[in-house]
Amino acid sequence: MTEYELVVVGGGPAAITLAKLLGNKKKMVIIRPESSSMIYCAMPYAIEGLFDIEKTLKSNTLITESGADFIRDTVTEIDFDGKNVTLSDSTQLAYKQLVIATGAEPFIPPVKGSDLKGVSGFKTEKDLSALQATISSGVKKAVVVGAGAIGIELAQALKKAGLEVNLVDMTSSILPNLVDSEMTEDMKAEMLNAGINIHLEAKVVSLGGSEWVQHVELDNGHKIHFEAKEENAESGTHDGIVIFAAGMKAVTDLVKDSTIELGRDGIVINDKMETSLPDVYAVGDCTQFKSAITGKTAPGKLATNAVPMAKVLGFNMMGKNKSYPGFYNGAATKVGKYYVGGTGLSESVAKNAGYDVISGYSEVTTQFPIMPDAKELKFKLVADKATGKILGAQIVSGEPVTGRIDLLSYAIQKNSTVEDLSELSYSSQPYQSFFPAANGVVLAAEDILKKM
């Protein structure tokens, strides 16, 4: 049996990060079934036709040039006592240390008809190719379930690809985990203007059809029909598809019969990425960890969490003593002409977590308002009334927001207060900011100070 110092099960961003850090330092192997890992974030834009699917595939040289071995296969079993893994072709590999980085898969609720043809999630290269093929075959309508970033990006892409699109979410606003509802009005209008039908406070209760999905029933009594056109039936094409973008669930099959502790959101780990078994670690979407702000279990299935988790583990395996503080969940998306981002806790999440919350707003422009290309730039800051600590921030703008979101994530990471942000030292230039007299972050912080 070949023996490795380190076996990594999975080959997504978390596993690749480990290979980059440790590939030339340890005898290690990355095991993954797909021929390529994907740039998942780019998948909706391939549907929209911005580039070919091939552009969303990462090169395996990211692994092989690091010095790590790469095996294209699935791990079917782990013997935690004997410290070895079995692959689908029955090969066994022994390990000294094991990392589980098996990621997450789309959650498809067990409603009636969810196993019909034309119903899928949206995660893998297979999902992407199948969706592209179905679109090319002339499908006319789509129902996207889930108005989070993936659902919104996909709904817009399908609309651009020429489909009639219905976006369904059980909450009362779009992007519920990213921004509070009052920040979404312009974006919602933008989607409606683009011709996307939005069904909020609506839950899918069943899907109907004999073999291929033909209708979707919502709990508000509304039924979305995919009319079967005769010419389509004759040519073997179909009229509608349903795609679930309603959340991800951790892939944990390999550990479910072990003594490794499992939580609702995945494999339970500590701040060193250690599971409850010695020499067995887990990183990325397959894990359950905490919010860095509340200290309580929080969702955080993002590549921007998976990579830092793997870095903490990788550096510790090189002899450092790093700890992972938890998720801040800085994230962003684009809705029509608007760029939107959020970090930390939204007001609604903070209230549910028991904080007495105070929020501040500001509206400036991305350039001096007298400049011809000035676009709007709206901020919301969420703070803890008792301590003045910043808990979260949200931005909607006509220009990219990730730089500003990262600044505000850093402010939260460093326990900054509203007072601190009101004193932010900023720069100004006609093409790149509002007038020197004001800065959106400072104005939003001052808005809170006035209310405190």
Ligand X SMILES: Cc1cc2nc3c(=O)[nH]c(=O)nc-3n(C[C@H](O)[C@H](O)[C@H](O)COP(=O)(O)OP(=O)(O)OC[C@H]3O[C@@H](n4cnc5c(N)ncnc54)[C@H](O)[C@@H]3O)c2cc1C
φ/ψ of 48, rounded to 5, equals -70, -20
Determine the 3-state secondary structure of 32 from DSSP: strand
- 390/445 Cα distance (integer angstroms): 9
CB nearer to ligand X: give 56 or 362.
Answer: 56
Query: Stretches 37-45, 111-119, 156-164, 192-200: which one binds ligand X (CB under 6 A)?
Result: 37-45
Residue 296 Cβ vs ligand X, minimum distance, rounded to whole Å: 20
Pairing between strand 376-384 and 331-335?
Answer: unpaired
Pairing between strand 262-263 and 164-168?
Answer: unpaired
- 389/421 Cα distance (integer angstroms): 10
Selected from 60, 102, 258, 291, the binder of ligand X by CB under 6 A is 102
Query: Stretches 4-12, 139-147, 157-165, 412-420: which one binds ligand X (CB under 6 A)?
Result: 4-12
- Strand stretches in 90-219, DSSP E: 92-100, 104-106, 119-120, 141-145, 164-168, 197-199, 204-208, 215-218
285 belongs to the binding site for ligand X (CB under 6 A): yes
Distances (CA, A) of 43 to 51, 62, 279, 326: 10, 20, 35, 27
Query: Stretches 29-37, 46-54, 184-192, 208-216: which one binds ligand X (CB under 6 A)?
Result: 29-37
Selected from 254, 282, 340, 418, the binder of ligand X by CB under 6 A is 254
Selected from 103, 118, 148, 308, the binder of ligand X by CB under 6 A is 103
302 belongs to the binding site for ligand X (CB under 6 A): yes
**Which positions from 346 through 375 interact with ligand X, judged by CB under 6 A?**
none
CB nearer to ligand X: give 95 or 212.
Answer: 95
Residue 244 Cβ vs ligand X, minimum distance, rounded to whole Å: 11
Residue 148 Cβ vs ligand X, minimum distance, rounded to whole Å: 10
- What number of chain residues touch ligand X (CB under 6 A)? 33
CB nearer to ligand X: give 2 or 232.
Answer: 2
15 belongs to the binding site for ligand X (CB under 6 A): yes
CB nearer to ligand X: give 151 or 209.
Answer: 151
299 belongs to the binding site for ligand X (CB under 6 A): no
Number of residues assigned to the chain = 452
11 belongs to the binding site for ligand X (CB under 6 A): yes
Selected from 2, 5, 25, 33, the binder of ligand X by CB under 6 A is 33
Residue 245 Cβ vs ligand X, minimum distance, rounded to whole Å: 8
Selected from 20, 26, 123, 159, the binder of ligand X by CB under 6 A is 123
Which neighbouring-strand residues pair with 288?
268
Contact 327, 409 (CB under 8 A): no
φ/ψ of 332, rounded to 5, equals -150, 160
Number of H helices, E strands in the chain: 12, 26
- Order across the sheet with 197-199: list the strands: 119-120, 240-244, 141-145, 164-168, 197-199
Residue 295 Cβ vs ligand X, minimum distance, rounded to whole Å: 22
Selected from 25, 36, 41, 263, the binder of ligand X by CB under 6 A is 41
10 belongs to the binding site for ligand X (CB under 6 A): yes
Determine the 3-state secondary structure of 336 from DSSP: coil
- 399/195 Cα distance (integer angstroms): 23
Selected from 5, 25, 34, 64, the binder of ligand X by CB under 6 A is 34
Print the binding letters for residues 214-253 with ligand X: x by CB under 6 A, - otherwise. -------------------------------------x--
Q: Which of 398, 360, 410, 406 is nearest to 380 (CA)?
A: 360
Furthest CA-CA distance within the chain: 71
CB nearer to ligand X: give 313 or 448.
Answer: 313
125 belongs to the binding site for ligand X (CB under 6 A): no
CB nearer to ligand X: give 35 or 425.
Answer: 35
For CA atoms 88, 93, 94, 99, give the dihedral sign.
negative
Query: Stretches 35-43, 270-278, 391-399, 442-450: which one binds ligand X (CB under 6 A)?
Result: 35-43
Distant-in-sequence, close-in-space partners of 178: CB < 8 Å, separation ≥ 6: 148, 149, 331, 333, 340, 341, 342, 346, 394
Print the binding letters for residues 195-214 with ligand X: x by CB under 6 A, - otherwise. --------------------
Pairing between strand 262-263 and 266-268?
Answer: antiparallel
Residues that bind ligand X (CB under 6 A): 9-15, 31-34, 37, 40-41, 43, 74-75, 101-104, 122-123, 150, 251, 254, 284-285, 301-304, 306
